[in-house]
Amino acid sequence: MTPVKYTTKFSIIFAELNGMEMQPEKTATVVKHTGSHYLLSCLPEWNLFPAVLRGKIRLKGNSATNPVAVGDKVSYEVPDGNPVPENPAVITSVLERRNYVIRKSANLSRQAHIIAANLDKAFLVVTLDFPEVKLPFLDRILLTCEVYNVPPIIVMNKIDLFRDAYSEQLKAFHHIYESAGYRVLEVSALTGEGIDILKEECSGSVSLFSGVSGVGKSSLIKAMDPGLDLKTGEISEAHLQGRHTTTFYEMYPLSSGGFIIDTPGIRGFGLVDIKPEEIALYFPEMLKASENCRFAPCTHTHEPGCAVKAAVEDGTISSERYFSYLGMLEEGKKYR
């Protein structure tokens, strides 16, 4: 994406002619946003200061409702003195993003929301029950990570509840996603199992923690660093869904190293700017198998000699992942 610049060539020439010294551009990372107000820090240092937008920033080719997201690197200026709540810094441009995670709240919506930007990893937190993992939902997030070049890791939380009572379901889940090429980490925020592995994975990185409400994202982050002040909630017995406890998208520094972005629970995840004929390219196991399809391109639905369908039939590609693909394909055609 091309950053929005407010300094014009004329102003630079004018400054040079009048002997004025242009101030060096200052940059920082967005670590929290609450509507129109932001907190910035010059990472890797953790020195928070407030900021606001100058007018409306619009990024070329982007229809997101939030032009500035947590993780964005931005240029800013301070009108007078040091930035304080009464005199915040002014964000003047968003620098080019290395990657990001974006979604639509619903497929019919034309508006998209950037969850976070410039990520080293995305930890997708799920549970087998309370709340139950919906595989098509998880597959949408995985596909989006593939499209926008964010390395994902699946985190199965509350493993202390599932290892015995849900042993077959747990085994099947591992098979579905590990055979597709994804890592699945088993952890428990309650017992501490797997927390050291998570801390090691997050060290020296900017990592996103995302998932539906109630899977325990904030609890996991607190287990990694008990000194952090994060709210946690309980599961609704009536609807078996979690209550939103994280209100804003916010980055936190881990005492063990690295930075984590916590997000509100996500209930809708529509795909953004992905054509139906491109969807199969972002299922790693389908992309590999498609090299042996008789026809190219192949939709993997009705064509004779389709290697993907053959792989589904022999179990090399899970039927659950294939059905997720078919669902996305139909929706992509419907809402074009």
Span 206-228, pLDDT tens digits: 999 999 989 999 999 999 999 99
The domain 276-334 having CATH identifier 1.10.40.50: the answer here is: yes
The rounded Cα 226 to chain-centroid distance in angstroms is 23
Prior bond to 44 cis, omega within 30? Answer: yes
Q: What is the mean pLDDT of the chain?
A: 85
State the pLDDT confidence band at 10, using cuts at 50, 70 and 90. very low
What's residue 332's pLDDT? 66
Report domain extents, the chain. 22-94, 100-262, 276-334
- Cα separation of 203 and 26, whole Å? 26
Residue type, 269: F
State the pLDDT confidence band at 195, using cuts at 50, 70 and 90. very high
When mean pLDDT is compared across 12-16, 56-60, 311-315, the lowest value belongs to 12-16
What's residue 226's pLDDT? 93
Q: Is the pLDDT of residue 336 over 90?
A: no
Whole-model pTM?
0.84
Find out whether 307 and 289 touch, Cβ atoms under 8 Å: yes
Q: Which residues contact 254 (CB under 8 A, 6 or more apart)?
A: 199, 202, 203, 224, 225, 228, 260
- The residue ranges of DSSP E strands in the chain, in sequence order, are 26-34, 37-41, 49-53, 73-77, 89-94, 100-104, 112-117, 121-126, 152-156, 184-186, 206-210, 235-236, 241-242, 250-253, 259-262
Q: How many Cβ atoms are within 10 Å of 109's Cβ, its own excluded?
A: 15
What's residue 19's pLDDT? 42
Q: Is the pLDDT of residue 16 over 60?
A: no
Residue 290 or 238, more confident: 290
The rounded Cα 273 to chain-centroid distance in angstroms is 16
- Three-class DSSP category at 286: helix
Residue 39 or 20, more confident: 39
Closest CA to 255 of 232, 227, 231: 227
Q: Is the pLDDT of residue 259 over 60?
A: yes
What's residue 46's pLDDT? 96
Q: Which residues contact 314 (CB under 8 A, 6 or more apart)?
A: none
Q: Which residues contact 134 (CB under 8 A, 6 or more apart)?
A: 212
What's residue 313's pLDDT? 96
pLDDT-above-90 percentage for the chain: 67
DSSP H/E element including 172: helix 167-178
Residue 269 or 332, more confident: 269
Span 85-111, pLDDT tens digits: 888 999 999 999 999 999 986 655 667
State the pLDDT confidence band at 7, using cuts at 50, 70 and 90. very low
DSSP string, 49-114: EEEEESS----TT--BS-SS-TT-EEEEE-SSSS-BTTB-EEEEEEPPPS-EEEEESSTT---EEE
Q: Is the pLDDT of residue 1 over 90?
A: no
Q: Is the pLDDT of residue 190 over 50?
A: yes
- Cα separation of 308 and 302, whole Å? 11
- Cα separation of 220 and 252, whole Å? 13
Rg of the chain in Å (alpha carbons): 22
What's residue 211's pLDDT? 92
Q: How many Cβ atoms are within 10 Å of 71's Cβ, its own excluded?
A: 26
- Bridge partner residues of 316 (DSSP): none
Find out whether 131 and 214 touch, Cβ atoms under 8 Å: yes
Q: What is the residue whose two structure tokens read 């551009």? A: 25
Average pLDDT over every residue of 109-114: 79
Find out whether 328 and 271 touch, Cβ atoms under 8 Å: yes
Residue 270 or 155, more confident: 155
When mean pLDDT is compared across 33-42, 67-76, 103-112, the lowest value belongs to 103-112
Q: Is the pLDDT of residue 80 over 50?
A: yes
Q: Which CATH superfamily is domain 22-94 in?
A: Nucleic acid-binding proteins (2.40.50.140)
CATH class of 100-262: alpha beta
Span 116-152, pLDDT tens digits: 999 999 999 999 998 999 999 999 999 999 999 999 9
Find out whether 159 and 193 touch, Cβ atoms under 8 Å: yes
CA 112 to each of CA 102, 161, 166, 277: distance values in angstroms, whole numbers, following the listed order: 7, 35, 36, 21
What's residue 334's pLDDT? 58
Residue 7 or 224, more confident: 224
